[in-house]
């Protein structure tokens, strides 16, 4: 049964559609990757889903609730979490403050302990300013903060961007654990081959349209399509 359903989703800026007629689903315990070359419309699709695009048509349903007319903040409270590629932590706040600043969290102290179990590195740095963390530690903090309100779906925009290869593996390892903890994942990722390797299904965009979709294993096995749309990573 689908947790997220996008039907005929189109949108852009002004009269120009950047994405058009997107049909997409994410299951309750799935990791789904959106791939495509630069300029394919991946980030625009994420903005449309989050309520950050000025012109959007179509239907967005999360766990049976329509999000299409909800403001971005209300989509967050409906169970939609987001980890952006950049500026994903408050650098002037401590690690603890970054985690506690999230509104709408029930049993805050208990939830904080549950989230920190996933990120033991952060336990030692709770009083440290987030701006002084390493790139990998900041990404862990961004994930931890997104998990604080117990979301149903986490949307990740290039979670491994600018990370060293060793940290890339750690991030993908973390993502792969989320469905077992009750959080489905929709991920946009330039390292598409690695992302699909931990995904159940994938969608490939080209010029704002979905040109291919299916099981991640089938997409990876299609040598022509992977070379054309997924590159070498």
Distance of alpha carbon 200 from alpha carbon 29, whole angstroms: 9
Q: Work out the burial of residue 14: count CB atoms within 10 Å of its CB; fewer than 13 is exposed, 13-18 middle, 19 or more buried.
A: exposed
Q: pTM for the full model? A: 0.92
Domain ranges of the chain: 1-79+153-159+184-233
For 52, phi then psi, to 5°, come to -110, 10
H or E element in which residue 72 lies: helix 72-77
pLDDT along the chain (233 residues), means of 10: 95 89 96 92 94 93 96 94 88 93 78 91 94 90 93 94 85 93 94 94 95 94 77 59
For 139, phi then psi, to 5°, come to -65, -40
Superfamily (CATH H level) for 1-79+153-159+184-233: P-loop containing nucleotide triphosphate hydrolases (3.40.50.300)
Nearest Cα residue to 215 out of 189, 227, 197, 228: 197
For 203, phi then psi, to 5°, come to -130, 135
């Amino acid at each position: 049964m689908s947790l997220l359903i996008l039907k005929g989703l189109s949108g852009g800026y002004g009269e120009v559609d950047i994405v058009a007629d997107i049909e997409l689903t994410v299951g309750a315990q799935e990791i789904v990757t959106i791939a495509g070359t630069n300029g394919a419309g991946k980030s625009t699709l994420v903005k449309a889903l989050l309520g950050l695009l000025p012109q959007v048509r179509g239907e967005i349903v999360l766990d049976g609730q329509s999000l299409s007319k909800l403001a971005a903040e209300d989509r967050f409270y409906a169970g939609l979490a987001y980890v952006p590629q950049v500026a994903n932590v408050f650098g002037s706040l401590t690690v603890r403050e970054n985690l506690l600043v999230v509104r709408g969290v029930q049993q805050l102290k208990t939830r904080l302990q549950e989230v920190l179990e996933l990120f033991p590195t952060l336990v030692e740095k709770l009083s440290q300013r987030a701006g002084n963390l390493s790139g990998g530690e900041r990404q862990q903090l961004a994930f931890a903060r997104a998990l604080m309100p117990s979301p149903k779906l986490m949307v990740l925009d290039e979670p491994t961007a600018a990370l060293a290869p060793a940290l890339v593996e750690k991030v993908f390892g973390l993502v792969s654990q989320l469905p077992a903890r009750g959080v489905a994942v929709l991920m946009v990722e330039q390292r598409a081959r690695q992302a699909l390797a931990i995904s159940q299904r994938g969608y490939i965009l080209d010029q704002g349209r979905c040109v291919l979709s299916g099981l991640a294993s089938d997409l990876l096995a299609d040598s022509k399509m992977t070379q054309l749309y997924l590159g070498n990573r």
